[in-house]
Amino acid sequence: MMQQTLAKAVQAKGIGLHSGKMVHLKLVPAPAHHGIRFFRTDLGVEIEALSQNVDFSALQLATTLRKEKGCIQTTEHLMAALYAMGIDNLRVEVDSAEIPIMDGSAAPFIYLIEEAGIKKQTAVRRVLKVTKPFHFNHQEKTVSVYPCETFRISYEINFDHPLIQKQQKTVEINPTLFEAEVSRARTFGFLKDVQMLKKMGLIQGGSIDNAIVLDGDRMLNASLRQKDEFVSHKILDCVGDLALCGARFQGHVVANKAGHEVHALFLRALMASDAIAWENASEEEQEVAVHAEPVFA
């Protein structure tokens, strides 16, 4: 499999989930072996989209990457779209600390990728291949992974709300299935939590325009986009978080009640384990992945 980038630059703008301010985003083609890198145009800081740059002190609501004096928040929806559509190399220019939330799903980013087109490159892709079962537990939340010839995710959630309750879904992560079954699933939250977070100065841009908001036994939105939208969004988040391995992921991930923090901890533990093999990755790249220290702001 050969590496890919976009055929041309594309741009969009949208509200930042936490700041509530307008954010400008530009996706710029990048050469082979560049990887996905975020560039803060307001700070002049570049942050590689890799596990070693995850800010472990800021994983409650979304995934945050941090390097030097800069950070970039809410990376998971864009990263999921890039991974699922097969984009290996890209410069992501943004003029704020956040990726715009758009409609709360990955669909707007899929649209941008399709608008730009995809360009094949001459370098072979790096692959992180799971070679034996690996299990991770954290506070009654679990993620396991098993050898598989493709990237497959089985996810289970269980919420005490009549519209969610227990949901389970398995999907193979490829462009066709991701776009059809996962990409349009929106992030969701509970009204009581939204009110508390806004008082704390967070999610100032959050609304029913970019999230499913639940209250009591109902939701404030007019309707769901799909019956399994809640668990589908969890799969979307998982794809975006595991894309921070910096390679194509080959394994069957089975997650139960997990989230951004557990995804990040699982990936860090897996990459340091003997349950994987790297294909087409240099020794230096493997060493960085295994021995990187966690980031705490």
How far is 156 from 83, CA to CA, in rounded Å? 22
In 3D space, the residue among 74, 79, 91 whose CA is nearest the CA of residue 19 turns out to be 74
Gyration radius (Cα) of the chain, Å: 18
List Cβ neighbours of 119 (8 Å cut-off, separation of 6 or more).
Answer: 4, 5, 6, 7, 29
Q: Give me the catalytic one of 18, 233, 252, 260.
A: 260
Q: Is the distance from CB of 249 to CB of 86 less than 8 angstroms?
A: no
> Tokens representing 97?
């600390």
In 3D space, the residue among 51, 48, 7 whose CA is nearest the CA of residue 244 turns out to be 51
> Tokens representing 257?
């009640």
* 260 catalytic per annotation: yes
Half-sphere exposure of 128 (CA within 13 A, CB side): 26
How far is 241 from 78, CA to CA, in rounded Å? 10
List Cβ neighbours of 49 (8 Å cut-off, separation of 6 or more).
Answer: 35, 36, 37, 38, 65, 75, 79, 92, 243, 244, 246
Neighbours of 164 (CB within 10 A): 17
Neighbours of 68 (CB within 10 A): 9
Backbone dihedral region of 86: left (phi > 0), alpha (psi from -120 to 50 degrees) or beta?
left
- Within 27-174, residue ranges assigned H as helices are 76-84, 107-116
> Tokens representing 46?
């570049």
Which residues are part of the catalytic machinery? 260
